[in-house]
Each structure stands twice: as C-alpha cells, then as structure tokens.
Structure 1
Amino acid sequence: MIPSEPPRAAGAVTRTVSGQSMAGRAGYDERFLGVPVPLPIPAGPAVETVVLPYTHFTVVLRPDRRMAAATAVCIDGERLLEQVPRECDWRPDPRLGKDRQTGEEVYRNNSLDKGHLVRRPAPVWGEAAEAYQADADTFHYTNAAPQADVCNRSRQVWQGLEDYLLAHAARPGRKLAVLTGPVLHDSDPPYRGVQVPLRFWKVAAFLRDGKLAATAYVLDQSPDLIWDAERALAGATPGAPPPLGAFRTFQVPVTDVAELTSLNLGPLPAADLMPVVRVPEDRWKRLASHDDIVLERH
C-alpha cells in the first residue's frame, strides 16, 4: 500500500491506496453536483480508514471491521447505460491484504447475500469503456456487506431509492451524489471473522432550485430477538449466521445518520428536506413505498 494522502480528520488515520491493476480510478468527485459534497470520513475517536477510489465511486474502508464505513458514488442520470452486461465475478481488491477485507469465506454455504453498498447500476454511466469498468468495480468485496437473503417490499424500496430520486427530485440535470454504508456498531454479532451489521444508511444529495438538498434513510435488518452466544450454543445450527429480521426502511434526519455512524457529513445535515420532528416516535418515518418519501420542507 502506498500512502498518498494526509489524515483528513483530527485523530483519524485516512489513507488512499493504489495498485497497478487498479490504476486510473478517479473515484468519487466531491464537486460532481457543482457544490462541494465531501467524502464522508470518521468524525469521532481515532480509527484507521483506507480510501479506495473506483470508477465513479469511492469506498472508505475500515480494516478493523474488514468492510466499508462509507461509500460515495456520483450518479449521472442522463448518461446511465442500461445494456451493460452484469458482472458476477466477486473479487478482493488487490490493493489490500485479504485479512483487511471480507471474502467468499464469509458468504459461502449460508443464507447471507453480498449486499452491494454502491448499487451496481449507479456508477454505470459515461462512455462504454468507463461504464463497463464501473460495473466490474462494484463487484469488489470492499463494496459488499452481509445482508439477509430474504427479499421483501421494504428491501425493494431501499434498492430503488436512487431511481426514485433521479425521477422525482434531482431535476433538472438528474444528478445525485449518494453516500451509503453499514452502521458499524461494537455490538454487531460476530460471524466467520467479521461482525454482521444490523443497519445500513444512505444519504442522497442533489440540487433543488440551485441549492443543495439532501434526504437520508436507514435499512434495518435487526432480529426480533437479540443474538447472543448463549442462544447460539443452545439452539442455533452450528456454523449458521446470526438470525436477522425482516427488512424495514425508514426516512430519517441526516443528523441521525451522522450520530449513528460518527461520520462527518459536511453540509448535508443543514440541507435536509425532512422537517424537524421533536416527538421521538415520529422522528423516523417508516416507508411502505417510495410515495411515502418526504421531499419538501414544511
């Protein structure tokens, strides 16, 4: 690994790495929208992160958790290519040691999906060569996190958020900057050398009347019963992943994502379109469909 960037937050160690086989990846463009939307970086206690640029997106990886703390992708809705063949060959990033990222051993012979953090179609835009490269880049294990393989309507809402916002919010121009990642909590259940995150977050940024606007979301796969070692020993199938619950998708205040993740989200909390709700039980809005999304301040 070749350090090429100084630390970007007090107390945090953030490095950008390069490798010959991944040369030329420019990564996420912080000025893609015309106004700065910085790469999310840890804002709290010192924690090592490694910045991995890909085609149209960047992964901020936490080696201690062997997965991303955050990802950031530029989506040009006017230049998306829909006919790019889907790449299916998941691979480790050659710029990192295998002990610093997840691999097939986490997902083999179990009920866990390799959940794309940057959705495969999101960075697949531009000229054919860069679109094909972007598609392949999304299939690095650094862009995956374990998710339950059950599919329900709430997960479909989560997977279609970018498409909905491109159609209904990011006009004119149809450009989005989307930040996504798992909520990495110390209590996440361990499995095969990693801790399985129970929540995922997403913040979408776009221009509204020439000004920065943002909305935030949380996908929750927490189990109905909390996983613990005693339950594992008493009743779980040996070698089985921790039990995960049904997916639930919420629209949440951007400030809540910043607090959950200890990431610096720059100007996005101030640009949040979700109205401030002081009653705790109404603060997170559960989404049954995209029509439930709040895109206007009241």
Structure 2
Amino acid sequence: MITPPESPGPDDPARDTPPERFPAEAVSIDPDYSTRDGYRADFLDHRLPLPGHQAWAEVASAELTYHHFSIVMHRRRRLALYTAVNIDGRTATRPSRDSDRWIIDPRIPRAEQTNDDLYRDNALDRGHLVRRLDPAWGPVAEAANDDTFHFTNATPQHHDFNADQTLWAGLEDYILHNTDNRDLTVSVVTGPVLHDEDPAYRGVAIPRQFYKLVAMVTTTNRLTVTAYLLSQEALLEEFATGPEEFSFGAYRTFQVPVRRIAALTGLELPAHIAADPLDRLGPTALPREILRSEDILLIS
C-alpha cells in the first residue's frame, strides 16, 4: 500500500491547476454533470456504502458521480482509488462501441487525471475499470455507456493484457446470470492496488494488481460479497527496464478474502467484509486461484 503523502501545499500545481475547459464539439456526452446519480448504496436492498478512504483523505478527490457509477480519484497518482457501479441485468442493453474517444472530466484538474499523452505510440491501452456495458441499463443506458470513457475510469494496461481478460472481465456476468442471484442485480467495486514500488512510465506509476468486489443478494435474501485479485506482478517486473520497453508474462486471478483487499488498499470495507463467504471460513480462507468461473465460492 502507498504511504499516504502530505496534502498539496499552496504552491503545488496539482492544487492550483484550474479545471480543464473544452469546446462543446470536443465533448461527446451531456456536459451537465448534475444529472448523474452515481453509485447507489441501497441498490441491492441491503445497504452497501462506498468504501471508506480515511487513510487517503488528503489525496482523494470528492466522489465523482456518473450514470449508475461513482469514482474517487487518487489526485497524486492520477488514477482511481476505486470505482463503484450498480448493474441491473433486467434492463441492460448493449450500446455499440463506435470508437475509443476518451474524455477529460472537467470537474477536476487535468493534472489529477491521465490523458492521451500516456497512451500515445506505445503498447498501453486505456483499460476500463467500470466496464463499458456495466452501467448501460435503463433509460440512460447510452449516456452511461459514454460516461465510462472518461479518463478518470481508465487505468494503463498493456494491450495484450487488456485484450485477453476473458475470466477477469466476465466475473460480473457469471455472478449476474449463472448463480443464485435473486434480482439479476449486482454492485461492483473495482480499482488498482496502488504501491510505492509500482514502475513509473511517462510520469505515471503503473499498477501491478487490480481488485474487484462483487456483491449480490441470493434468493434467500442473503447479501454475499466476493473479492478477486488480478495479479500482474510477473507482467511488470521488467516494465521499467527502459523508457519505452515492455516485458509481460502470464497473469493470474485469485478469489481472496475481502479483508485482504482492505489490507492491500487501505480502504475501509466493513459491510463488504461482513458479507464475505471466505471471511466466514476463518483462518482457512486462503486465496483461491480462479481458473474458470465455476471455481468461485459464493456462499458458505
């Protein structure tokens, strides 16, 4: 976990940089952000609040609300501390993906989020933290889809890694459609694990690991939250060998106790921990490598 730095001083450019302004034609979404409802803690009928981030209070942004999801940024790292999305499989749609036109969020300074400079002329992709289709449900499905193309929702991932996450990217879908899910609804918290030792590239430290917390309510009205850790330690070991060099290997997905995610990230997750089936197993709850969706333990 990164040691929380001191708050920006009065001469820190990250504090004084004004919000980015854009001509109307450069914005492909509704510029009235007051219409965004963000993540709903009561979406599953069992209150599941956003993660607490008191350890990061001095570097965390305010909650940025979008259609059906919210993001809290780490202002110094220029990446999300976490994202949280509500998914309704009953009214989900599949808007087309015409292009990857990403947008700076004008509500926070440009210096506190990444932009195209990080991804230009290299093998890095803008990886979605909130998946494009996750918030695309209900009357605002199209607008919610577009909202996921804010740079606040992007995390740098190698192209090969980003393009071959079949298991990781499908966790929500499996829990939504192939389990004892009462209402075909889930809430998901996703983010990078931010370490001081993450390799720097073009002024941005590239995360080595990512996590997901997937919550659902069973047909017996039981809230269950499962946690997953995607480790790309091996992928990034030689990442910083040169300014433009990449060396990537295999990555692995694990189901881990929610407590493990709390320890790795410094986030406060008491409600998530209380609903974790691995936590109920006690000391025997070792990380479980997930090789296929059926390996997931949902209820104990």
Q: TM-score, normalised by structure 1?
A: 0.84
Q: Is 1:191 aligned to residue 195 of structure 2?
A: no
1:3 match: none
Q: Is 1:266 aligned to residue 270 of structure 2?
A: yes
What one-letter code is carried by the residue in structure 1 that aligns with 2:80?
Answer: A
Q: CA deviation at 1:59?
A: 0.5
Q: CA deviation at 1:95?
A: 1.1
**Greater mean alpha carbon deviation, residues 270-279 or residues 250-259:** 270-279
d(CA) in 1 for partners of 2:56 and 2:121?
A: 36
Structure with the larger helix share: 2
Q: CA deviation at 1:224?
A: 6.2
RMSD: 2.5
2:39 match: 28
The 3 A distance-change label for structure 1 pair 142 and 153 is closer
The 3 A distance-change label for structure 1 pair 225 and 40 is closer
Q: CA deviation at 1:170?
A: 5.5
**Greater mean alpha carbon deviation, residues 251-260 or residues 142-151:** 142-151
Paired residues of 1:189 and 1:195 also in contact (CA < 8 A):
yes
1:156 match: 166
Q: CA deviation at 1:225?
A: 7.4
What one-letter code is carried by the residue in structure 2 that aligns with 1:47?
Answer: E
Q: CA deviation at 1:44?
A: 2.6
Q: Is 1:120 aligned to residue 132 of structure 2?
A: yes
- CA offsets, 1:11-41, max 9 Å, x none? 999xxx9x95423111001111112111113
What one-letter code is carried by the residue in structure 2 that aligns with 1:97?
Answer: P
1:42 match: 53
1:276 match: 281
What one-letter code is carried by the residue in structure 2 that aligns with 1:290?
Answer: S
Q: CA deviation at 1:151?
A: 4.5
2:190 match: 180
The 3 A distance-change label for structure 1 pair 38 and 240 is same
What are the ranges of 5 or more consecutive residues in structure 1 without an aligned counterpart?
1-10
SS at structure 2 position matched to 1:264: coil
Identity across the alignment (%): 41
d(CA) in 1 for partners of 2:111 and 2:157?
A: 20
Q: TM-score, normalised by structure 2?
A: 0.83
Paired residues of 2:224 and 2:299 also in contact (CA < 8 A):
no
Q: Is 1:211 aligned to residue 214 of structure 2?
A: no
Q: CA deviation at 1:296?
A: 2.4
SS at structure 1 position matched to 2:81: strand
1:147 match: 157
